[in-house]
Structure 1
Amino acid sequence: MSDAGSPPQSTSPQAINAVPLRHPWRWVAAAAIIILVGLFLYGAATNPAYGWSTFAEYLFNERILLGVFNTLQLTVYSMVIGIILGVLLTVMRLSDNPVLSAVAWVFLWIFRGTPVYVQLAFWGLMPTVYQNVQLGVPFGPSLLQLDLQDLSFPFALAVIGLALNEAAYMAEIVRAGITSVPEGQLEASTALGMSWGKAMRRTVLPQAMRVIIPPTGNEVISLLKTTSLVTAVPYAFDLYSIATREIAARIFEPVPLLLVAATWYLIITSILMVGQFYLERYFSRGASRKLTSKQLEALALAQQPAAG
């Protein structure tokens, strides 16, 4: 027996011999998937119907590269206009003015409730629906008159159609981002003397961007693929139209030209996904619960006892 005055002896706990749970069926499923993918790739590589020689010939064709450039132009112009209009519609939707709020709601109802192909077809028929456009004093003299049938601007009509459709979705994305920020943030900023615009720019929007960026990146990628529908305008100089309607129809080999178009869409989409990743990481600074190596090192130094 130990003495009453002696401290109790500490016994170290025994080490736990932990055996990890085995999952043999995971390896079986992974092996089966690898075999199926390998068989598919081998079959695609040896199948003459894919026309890999034609694919290699037209992958960097001058007309294909022109289609890639035009598709990028359609995407950038439409997205920029869509974001600007989306922010404006968000302000109108959140406004206390019932007229502005109702107009924004009707806009969203129409452009989100109808297919984008139908909208593009309607914009293509705009010169037929409105043959003459007159600007002037109501019930007075006409100052400017345009004959739309004499004008040829399918590219501009395609951009307008895509941008208006995109604005309806961007308005909801921006509204969701703004409403995700607690109202106390805006109230505290205005209490410190900031104007409403400065408070939105310096306090609300930086926090809302964490919610806005991911769906906006998805919308850019979706818009890139939606440009293949501009043939409804009709605009026939995008990537899909040049690959399928121009080259494939001339050489009677649609499969390799579809693969060419799909490859370029994948390349552009991959670049956009990388940019989206870095944007999300930039705007999520301070929101992550994981500590960086520098933060962990500073925390360890702070917890060390002071030297005597």
Structure 2
Amino acid sequence: MTTDISKKGPEDTPPSSRPEAIKAIPVRHYGRYVAALAAIAALAAIVYAFSQGDINWNAIPDNFFDDRILRGVRETLILTALSMLIGVVGGVLLSVMRMSRNPVTSSIAWFYIWFFRGTPVLVQLFVWFNLGFVFDYVNLGPVYKDEWSDFMTPFLTALLGLGLNEAAYMAEICRAGLLSVDEGQTEASHALGMSHGKTLRRIVLPQAMRVVVPPTGNEVINMLKTTSLVAAVQYYELLRYAQD
């Protein structure tokens, strides 16, 4: 039996000829320390500036659970929920209209989205609030008839202004979700004899929710903050009560 001495493993290599282990030295990022010190110094300067101001800080804990503040929180949450409900329902309807093959329906949805996304929310609130200069009465025949000033209350103004504006943004979010569903899903459901409405409810919309839900959460947060604008149309929510 012969042994091939040309084949040697790592254990056969003399220790003196092996490569030395790499000594890894972490890179020191001195800019991070400088940025951290600058941020701390800026925060300390802001705190010091506020502490020197003539502010009654005790008023915050004293009034934090005041009845008017809690009433404002309740009104803000109710307005947020109802406005988002209008926005979601209107957004789904507008997205379906926008994707319709009917040019009239699609054009109406496009104009609605363009108008409400292209004008500030505060301006839209003022428009609803001041429509009494244009319409003196609301006449729905035997159903309802009253003066516009009594009909368009601050709550209704805030609800329409925020809800209809949100519908324009939700329309684009819903349309993106509908377009994310493969067209083959719709074709397969139609091949099985399902109507367009049933296909939309049972096939397309459930799959589109994974795209629609995350940005809808962001819209809820934005709506919660946007409700502060309705103080300009004399609706009492958290900001208005806090000002009082």
TMscore range, shorter length: 0.7 to 0.9
Aligned equivalent of 1:221: 221
**1:67–1:240: 8 Å Cα contact kept in structure 2?**
yes
Residues 1:186 and 1:27: Cα distance change in structure 2 (over 3 Å): farther
| Alignment pair present for 1:88 and 2:67 | no
Deviation at 1:97?
Answer: 1.1
Deviation at 1:35?
Answer: 3.0
Give the 3-state SS of the residue equivalent to 1:157 in structure 2: helix
State the alpha-carbon separation in 2 of the partners of residues 202 and 132 from structure 1.
43
How high is the sequence identity, in percent, across the aligned residues? 51
Give the 3-state SS of the residue equivalent to 2:115 in structure 1: helix
| Amino acid paired to 1:135 | L
User: What CA deviation, in whole Å up to 9, does each residue of 1:217-274 have, x standing for no partner?
Assistant: 2222221222111134332x11111222x2xxxxxxxxxxxxxxxxxxxxxxxxxxxx
**1:124–1:232: 8 Å Cα contact kept in structure 2?**
no
Alignment of 1:19-38 (within 5 A): 19-38=25-44
Give TM-score, length-normalised by structure 1.
0.67
Give the number of the structure whose alpha-carbon radius of gyration is greater: 2
State the alpha-carbon separation in 2 of the partners of residues 37 and 145 from structure 1.
58
State the alpha-carbon separation in 2 of the partners of residues 200 and 9 from structure 1.
70
Give the 3-state SS of the residue equivalent to 1:21 in structure 2: coil
Alignment of 1:158-177 (within 5 A): 158-177=158-177
Aligned equivalent of 1:72, options 52, 77, 87: 77
Alignment of 1:288-307 (within 5 A): none
Residues 1:10 and 1:196: Cα distance change in structure 2 (over 3 Å): farther
Aligned equivalent of 1:276: none
State the alpha-carbon separation in 1 of the partners of residues 85 and 222 from structure 2.
14
Give the 3-state SS of the residue equivalent to 1:50 in structure 2: coil
User: What CA deviation, in whole Å up to 9, does each residue of 1:202-228 have, x standing for no partner?
Assistant: 554444333323322222222122211
| Amino acid paired to 1:240 | L
Deviation at 1:197?
Answer: 4.6
Aligned equivalent of 2:23: 17
Aligned equivalent of 1:278: none
State the alpha-carbon separation in 2 of the partners of residues 209 and 22 from structure 1.
46
**1:173–1:215: 8 Å Cα contact kept in structure 2?**
yes
Give the 3-state SS of the residue equivalent to 2:90 in structure 1: helix
Deviation at 1:108?
Answer: 1.1
Give the 3-state SS of the residue equivalent to 2:82 in structure 1: helix
RMSD across aligned positions (CA): 2.8
| Amino acid paired to 2:183 | E
Residues 1:30 and 1:143: Cα distance change in structure 2 (over 3 Å): closer
Q: How many residues align?
A: 236
Instruction: Mark the runs of 5 or more structure 2 residues left unpaired by the alignment.
Output: 12-17
Deviation at 1:17?
Answer: 3.5
Deviation at 1:23?
Answer: 1.2
Give TM-score, length-normalised by structure 2.
0.83
**2:231–2:239: 8 Å Cα contact kept in structure 1?**
no
Deviation at 1:198?
Answer: 5.1
**1:123–1:233: 8 Å Cα contact kept in structure 2?**
no
Residues 1:73 and 1:96: Cα distance change in structure 2 (over 3 Å): same
Deviation at 1:62?
Answer: 1.2
